[in-house]
Amino acid sequence: MKIAVLYGGVSAEREVSLSTGQQIIAALESKGHDVIGIDFHPSRLHELLDIEADVVFLGLHGKYGEDGRLQGLLDMLNIPYVGSGALASGIAMDKAKSKQFFKEAGIKIAKEKVLYKKSYKEDQTDLSFDFPAVVKPNREGSTIGLTIAHNREELLKGIAEAFMHDDTILVEQFVSGKEVTVAVMGEHGQMQALPVVEIEPKNAYYDYESKYAEGGSIHYVPARLDEETTALLQKQAVAAHEVLGCEVYSRVDFIVPHDGTLPVILEVNTLPGMTPTSLFPDAAKEIGMDYPAMIEKLIELSLKK
């Protein structure tokens, strides 16, 4: 097939997307496809308007890639693409809104406070929160703009940092536990949860370096969890994917608390990273699917949407 791969983009996750795109292009070429690589930029929309491809593979992350805007444009152009549609992508990217869907589906969420730049006043906003607390932009990924605050001073600095990345931010209760992720893949109504992956970061937290630096974290596949917890995580990952209306594939992140309470969902990634250190390919490898076969499978599923 003739396949266009969109990667790069203009979000804070550009570097990750460049690596993801290169990996996807190499995999598709190894399968004999005719591949067009496009370093996407919103100011060059003509590159999409004039595109001639059987399908578009989105290797983008963050704003203007994962947030539904590009998916909406491709829908209007009647160009098939890999992954979730515009609405599901937009909701998943909005952490505050998606958490309400998870709650309705019976999936445990962390206690939170949503702050808006327009109405936030440091001396007037109620910031009574148990420490440590997690401060993060509402619509960013890859832990960009994220702070773990242990006192009020760190909280205020974290809020200022997060507002540099988004007009809406979250302050959440910090949950101490294992960070795990569940890759989800399949056709509508037949979604399959892949083996749970446990992440042990080199740093104190699973930050940007731990995610993308070589040796930044250790991935245990399958995760070191009992059967009951594993089954619950897989069931809830599929439920989270479906309640947002996601399609084809996603990756659902959780914390499994050390105190033995129920897992806490963090977010659904509709365009998970596909770099050499990424988690989705590790989960696929565990069920005998190498990287090129996985990419091929995602295209096959997308053309059935």
Q: What is the pTM of this model?
A: 0.91
Contact 76, 68 (CB under 8 A): no
On the question of pLDDT at 212 being above 80, the answer is no
Band of pLDDT at residue 214, cut at 50, 70 and 90: low
Are both 66 and 207 inside the same structural domain?
no
Domain match, 99 and 227 both: yes
C-alpha 72/C-alpha 79 separation (Å) is 10
Residue 210 has pLDDT above 50, yes or no: no
Overall domain count for the chain: 3
Question: Is residue 211's pLDDT more than 60?
Answer: no
Is 138 a residue whose pLDDT tops 80? yes
Least confident residue range of 61-65, 174-178, 253-257, 287-291: 61-65
Q: How confident is the model at residue 207 (pLDDT cuts 50, 70, 90)?
A: very low
Domain of residue 243: give its range: 91-108+176-302
Q: Residue 160 and residue 137: Cα distance in Å, rounded?
A: 10
Are the C-beta atoms of 99 and 105 separated by less than 8 Å? no
DSSP bridge pairs for 185: 192, 249
> Distance of CA 167 to CAs 46, 78, 129, 163, 181, Å?
29, 32, 20, 6, 27
Express each pLDDT in 165-201 by its tens digit.
899 999 999 999 999 999 999 999 899 999 999 999 8
Separation CA 299–CA 248 (nearest Å):
9
Residue 102 sits in the same domain as residue 120: no
Residues 193 and 243 in one domain: yes
- Positions marked catalytic: 13, 142, 212, 251, 253, 267, 269, 273
25 with 53, same domain: the answer is yes
Which pLDDT tens digit goes with each residue over 21-52? 999 999 999 999 999 999 999 999 988 888 89
Q: Is the pLDDT assigned to residue 297 strictly greater than 90? A: yes
**What are the tens digits of pLDDT across the range 59-111?**
999 888 999 999 999 999 999 999 999 999 999 999 999 999 999 999 999 99
The pLDDT of residue 209 is above 60: no
Same domain? For 160 and 188 the reply is no
| Domain containing residue 14: CATH number | 3.40.50.20
Same domain, 158 and 169: yes
Q: What is the CATH number of the domain that holds 143?
A: 3.30.1490.20
State whether 51 and 199 are in the same domain.
Answer: no
